[in-house]
Amino acid sequence: MKYHIQVFAGLAELMGGPMVTVPTDQEAMTITALKGLLSERFPEAAAQLQSAFVARNQVYAAPEELVSIHDEIAIIPPVSGG
């Protein structure tokens, strides 16, 4: 099983591109667990992942919500403007 995850901005640079594929043996996990899995796989992105927003099927998801391998998942880092 694999999670296919879109990543944006600086996260895409740190994680090797705008789409990340992560193999797993879990069909579903919480947003918090997914961020932990990604932080282990991409330690250079761990700090940004911690504060990033996660969208599941184009809707922002809370940390305790479940995502599955069938969901459209996007990770959006905080953006500041000026």
Tens of pLDDT, residue by residue, the chain (82 residues): 999 999 999 999 999 999 999 999 999 999 999 999 999 999 999 999 999 999 999 999 999 999 999 999 999 998 766 5
Q: Is 50 helix (H, G, I), strand (E, B) or coil?
A: helix
47 closest CA partner among 13, 11, 76 = 11
Q: 52 with 73: CB under 8 angstroms?
A: no
Q: What is the pTM of this model?
A: 0.91
C-alpha distances (whole Å) from 12 to each of 1, 26, 28, 66 are 22, 24, 23, 23
54 closest CA partner among 69, 75, 37, 77 = 75
Q: Does 2-76 carry CATH code 3.40.50.720? A: no
Q: pLDDT value at position 78?
A: 86
